[in-house]
Amino acid sequence: MRISRVAVYGDAAVPEVSAGALASFLRGCTGAPAAPSGGIFEGMTAAQAAALASCRVGSTARPFRRRRPDPREIDEEISGGIRAGAAGRAPGAACYDGFEMQRAVAGMIPRAEAERDVLHIVITGRLTCTYEDEGDMRYHGRALIGSNPALISAPGMVEAPARPRQYYVDLIGAAALGGDAGRAAERYAGRYLERGDPRMAAAAEGYALQAVAYYATGEAFCGDRDCRLYNAHWQEELLRAQVESGRLCGRHAAALRRAGAG
């Protein structure tokens, strides 16, 4: 599918990712007109906030169950939502069913902007998750919810790709021996994204390219570990593809240019 235009929506809660810079990057990679479209979560109505609050996951161990949000939750959404912390979800923090949130966000896009060939990419400081009904039967954090609108979750960039295996071993060992978990974590500094990490801007570029690829071709990922469309399951894979390499493979560079051709 050809993309006539890309609208990029920022989130004041994610200052590391500039909607304007991301739009400029997409113009250079795809050739499609791309422009920032403000913050979609700013100035929400009570009805929009209620729709967003109703996407919150009540239990991470069972499939999504919609419920009526209470006034406190609606007020929280209007004031910015409850966000995940740097490492794991802070007490009281919420995660949002990614597909339910996608539908709620679609309802916030002005009707005049909701043209079929316009791709909307929304940066969010809320943690998006999807329920896996195969395997461990629970919710998992997601950095990207594809299709249109596409959601790129900053907390998802932190939580979804796993940190180095030994990181978890060392934390468990420190806890068992009464050691300093923070000091154990310091040994791995720089090997994963953290909240407020400036490398989030590069990671967001990669996820935005995956969103464009999925919408235009139905194929979001690449098997080349150095391509920005690589589906990283580990933080070190994410940093390799998006920061150290920072390139597209030849096949996907050409495919994205075709998707944005006039």
- pLDDT greater than 80 at residue 198: yes
Distance of CA 89 to the CA centre of its chain: 15
* pLDDT value for 82: 56
Q: Say whether pLDDT at 33 is over 60.
A: yes
Is the separation of the CB atoms in 124 and 14 below 8 Å?
Answer: yes
pLDDT at 11 over 90: yes
Helical spans, DSSP H, in 54-164: 71-78, 98-106, 154-159
Q: Quick one: pLDDT at residue 88?
A: 40
Q: What are phi and psi of 74, to 5 degrees?
A: -65, -45
Residue with tokens 């909307």: 120
Structure tokens at 26: 């997409």
CA torsion sign for 152, 153, 159, 163 is: positive
79 or 7: whose pLDDT is higher?
A: 7
When pLDDT is averaged across residues 244-261 and rounded to a whole number, the result is 91
CA pair distance 167, 29, nearest whole angstrom: 35
Contact assessment for residue 95 and residue 60, using Cβ atoms and an 8 Å cutoff: yes
pLDDT at 204: 98
Q: 183 or 146: which carries more pLDDT confidence?
A: 146
Mean pLDDT, rounded, for 256-260: 87
- CA 4 – CA 2 distance, rounded (Å): 6
Q: How far apart are CA 22 and CA 196, in angstroms?
A: 17
Residue-level pLDDT at 81: 62
**pLDDT of 170-186, one tens digit each?**
888 877 777 777 777 78
Tens of pLDDT, residues 82-91? 544 433 444 3
Instruction: Give the pLDDT confidence score for residue 84 in this predicted structure.
Output: 42
In the chain, pLDDT over 90 holds for what percent of residues? Answer: 67
State the average pLDDT over residues 141-149: 95
Amino acid 261: pLDDT: 62
User: 232 near 241, Cβ under 8 Å?
Assistant: yes
Average pLDDT over residues 6-30: 95
As a whole number of angstroms, the distance between CA 53 and CA 73 comes to 6
* Rg of the Cα atoms in the chain: 18
Nearest-angstrom CA–CA distance, 167 and 163: 7
Domains of the chain: 5-259 (3.40.390.10)
Quick one: pLDDT at residue 90?
41
Closest CA to 252 of 205, 209, 203, 204: 209
Q: What is the mean pLDDT of residues 180-202?
A: 88
For residues 28-52, give the mean pLDDT. Answer: 92
Range in 130-134, 195-199, 223-227 the model is least confident about: 130-134
Maximum C-alpha span of the chain: 62
Mean pLDDT of the chain: 89
87 or 161: which leads in pLDDT: 161
